[in-house]
Amino acid sequence: MNTSMNGLTVPDVSVGQRSPEKVKKLKRPGRWASYIMMGLVAVLVIQSVATNPNFGWPIVGEYFASPRVLDGLVNTLQLTFIAMLLGVVLGVILAVMRLSTNPALYGAAGLYIWFFRGTPVFVQLLFWGFISALYPTLALGIPGAEPLFSTDTNSLITPVVAAILGLALNEAAYMAEIVRAGIVSVGKGQTEAAHALGMSNMRTLRRVILPQAMSVIVPPTANNVISMLKTTSLVSVLSFPELLYATQLIYAENFQTIPLLITASIWYLIGTTLRTIGQYYTERHYNKSTRAQGLSIMRRFIELQKRRGTNDAPAR
Amino acid sequence: MTQTPKVMVKATNVWKSFGHNEVLKGINLEVKAGEVTTLLGPSGSGKSTFLRLINHLDTASAGRITVDGDLVGYREHNGALHELRPQSIAKMRSEVGMVFQQFNLFPHMSVLQNIMEAPVGVKKESKARVRERAERLLERVGLADKRNAYPGSLSGGQQQRIAIARALAMEPKLMLFDEPTSALDPELVGEVLDVMHDLASTGMTMIVVTHEMGFAREVADSVVFMDGGVVVESGRPKDVLSNPQEERTQAFLSKVL
């Protein structure tokens, strides 16, 4: 114990060597038991999958990289990309509308979100597929006057258009809520600071709010991409040859249903796995400022130590 | 000097209520150009609310405020007030700097980007010119070496000095300070007050809501004591702080001094 000037005793905090004491790890018999159990289950599953001829692995291998399956895969990826892109753009617009002070705007956005989140996407896709039963012809023009442009609905809303509309409009409703949550998560002080600098609402949103909202928006959006990749399989009912429908067409000819479904499943798994890895990097990118804040505690500590030493006054 | 200094801010019978809660009950106030005015008073006295009305972050329920002769938030036409368009309000705000209790720096931008954002984006000045000014301002607040740092890596005192530099980069004619040192650790208050003191000596018109009595006494040209939504007493710091006439002022000062 050291005795300081004012008579108080303070603990001895002299820096010493790290002690070389041996520590015995806790024994975990339960853990070992579970290793054995899981190992056993894995062996059984693998054996069954490998030896059951009904899986038809040679057929999976035959069709895995066949042109028809690959075409379907490309269609699926394109559909995912376009539907997501439109969904995000429309979602941002809806979110901003939802947060507007204009009752017509936030009312309309609310109604949209209510409807498109409230009905199954499968039903929505069917509606778009059968839209010509609802409106046999589509026309553009002023009501009452001769239309400037008129066409048969089926020639305009092809299966691919129906698929994009169905997926994108549904996605927009979910994206709107994600973006709204992101915008709301940015503190009110940021808007006030931007306004106080003379920035317009639009500029504040674009330069100050949305970049910060990104760290809240990106993770669930990436999650939605994964979900979208799989949801595109619903489009098979519209006879659009995406991955699932492409394989369905094949097994309709050769009756190898299971091997072809396995083929499709493997491709979906590859797609979602790659996306998950990509998500890690996107999230890391958008968390830059958060990471800088994490650093600040250390920096602050160091600076405090420095200031104590030098009685730092602002240099002017 | 024979010419009387012009009035920068003039408030005439300003009222503000949030729902049924009346926060300001008829504020009359005049701030002359080039002067430093501190608003003192207990929490809830309406000081910050009044400050926020000056650049229209909140809207007054009644009364008028003018900045440099222009009505804040409205245009007078045929004896009636017309609300201004958002662009006009933004224009007016770009001429008034504001510093917040919580700094409110943009965390996703570097120090330099924080300072340059509004002059380049709002006033459409050339990047090179603004950058030069930003460097000068950073020098002035003693943080030239932090130009590429992000706000999250700075201490509260440093962040607030950057926030002051950010506001000054717009070359405002009036600076509003809303409790600029209240969120700081005690040992960091001094560096921010030093910057404000320095700014006052350049002749900037400043309105400062603060609890720093030392600053009010040494730097301010006038002190306004508010309580319960009204101005209780105002005048030169030595009169109001050393020889308060009103009972409420005396009671407040006896607690904080």
pLDDT tens-digit profile of B220-238?
999 999 999 999 999 999 9
Q: Which residues of A touch B150 (CB under 8 A)?
A: 289, 292
Confidence at residue A294, expressed as pLDDT on a 0 to 100 scale: 43
Whole-number Å distance between alpha carbons of B6 and B135: 31
Q: Can you give the pLDDT at residue A302?
A: 54
Give residue A67's pLDDT band: very low, low, confident or very high (50, 70, 90): very high
- Give the type of residue at A267: W
One-character DSSP codes across B149-189: --GGGS-HHHHHHHHHHHHHTT--SEEEEESTTTTS-HHHH
- Coil, helix or strand for B10? strand
Residue A298 has pLDDT above 60, yes or no: no
Would you state the pLDDT for residue B5? 76
Closest CA to B119 of B172, B53, B170, B194: B170
Of B94, B140, B152, which is closest to A293 when you measure between CB atoms? B152
Interface of A with B in 292-311 (CB under 8 A): 292-296, 299-300, 303, 307
Q: How far is CA B104 from the centre of its chain?
A: 14
d(CA A55, CA A257): 10
Q: What are residue B176's phi and psi, to 5 degrees?
A: -110, 130
A307 contacts B57? CB cut-off 8 A: no
Residue tagged 């098979």 (tokens)? A236
Count of beta carbons in the 10 Å neighbourhood of residue B257: 10
Count of A-B CB contacts under 8 Å: 105
- Per residue in A76-105, pLDDT (tens digit) is 999 999 999 999 999 999 999 999 989 999
**Confidence tier at A215 by pLDDT (50, 70, 90):** confident
- Of A172, A2, A24, A173, the C-alpha closest to A89 is A172
**What are the φ/ψ torsions at residue B224 (nearest 5 degrees)?**
-120, 120
Residue with tokens 């299971």: A258
Strand partners, B81: B76
Asked whether residue A299 carries a pLDDT value surpassing 90, the answer given is: no
Test A192 with B104 for CB contact under 8 angstroms: yes
**Cβ A229 vs Cβ A76: under 8 Å:** yes
Q: Give the C-alpha separation, A46 to A43, whole Å.
A: 5
Report the share of chain B in percent with pLDDT over 70.
98
Please state, in angstroms and rounded to a whole number, the distance separating the CA atoms of residues A256 and A247.
Answer: 10
Which pLDDT score is estimated for B79? 86
Cβ partners under 8 Å of residue B125, min gap 6: B119
Q: What is the mean pLDDT of residues A3-13?
A: 57
Please name which of B100, B95, B83 lies closest in space to residue B122, comparing C-alpha atoms: B95
Closest CA to B137 of B124, B153, B119: B119
Tell me which residue of B16, B195, A235 sits closest to B208, measured CA to CA.
B195
* Closest CA relative to residue B33, chosen from B10, B7, B54, B2: B7
Give the pLDDT confidence of B55-101 residue by residue, as tens digits: 999 999 999 999 999 999 999 888 899 999 999 999 999 999 999 99
Mapping DSSP onto H, E and C, the string for B32-73 reads ECCCEEEEECCCCCCHHHHHHHHCCCCCCCEEEEEECCEECC
Residue B205 pLDDT greater than 50, yes or no: yes
Distance from the Cα of residue B32 to its chain's centroid: 14
Nearest to B106 by CA among A206, A284, A197, A212: A212
Two structure tokens written together for B20: 């049924």
Q: How far is B142 from chain A (nearest CA, A)?
A: 5
Contacts of B155 (CB under 8 A, 6+ apart): A300, A303, B185, B188
What single DSSP character describes residue B3?
S
Mutate to test the interface with B, among A197, A212, A218, A305 (most CBs of B within 10 A): A197
Band (A10; pLDDT cuts 50, 70, 90) = low
pLDDT of residue A16: 66
Token reading at A229:
């990749």
- Side chain identity, residue B125: E
- Residue A189: phi, psi to the nearest 5? -60, -30
For B195, the closest of A189, A203, A314 (CB atoms) is: A314
Nearest-neighbour CA in chain A from B240: distance (Å):
31
Angle between helices A67-98 and A243-254 (to 10 degrees): 150
What pLDDT does A135 receive?
Answer: 87
Looking at chain B, which residue has its C-alpha nearest residue A197? B94
Of the partner residues A197, A288, A315, the one whose CB lies closest to the CB of residue B122? A197
Question: Quick one: pLDDT at residue A305?
Answer: 53
Give the pLDDT band (50/70/90) at residue A292. very low
Check residue A312 and give its pLDDT. Answer: 40
pLDDT of residue A315: 37
Measured from the Cβ of residue A163, the count of other Cβ atoms closer than 10 Å reads 27
Mean of pLDDT values over B146-169:
96
Q: What is the mean pLDDT of chain A?
A: 86
> In the structure, what pLDDT confidence band is assigned to residue A293 with cuts at 50, 70 and 90?
very low
Nearest to A292 among B102, B150, B167 (CB): B150
The amino acid at residue A124 is Q
Mean of pLDDT values over A206-222 = 92
The 10s digit of each residue's pLDDT in B112-153 is 999 999 999 999 999 999 999 999 999 999 999 999 999 999
Q: Which residues pair with B18 in a beta bridge?
A: B21
- Per DSSP bridges, beta strands B21-32 and B7-18 are antiparallel
Helix (H) or strand (E) holding B216: helix B213-218
Report which secondary-structure segment, H or E, holds A90: helix A67-98
Give the β-pairing of B70-71 and B80-83. Answer: unpaired
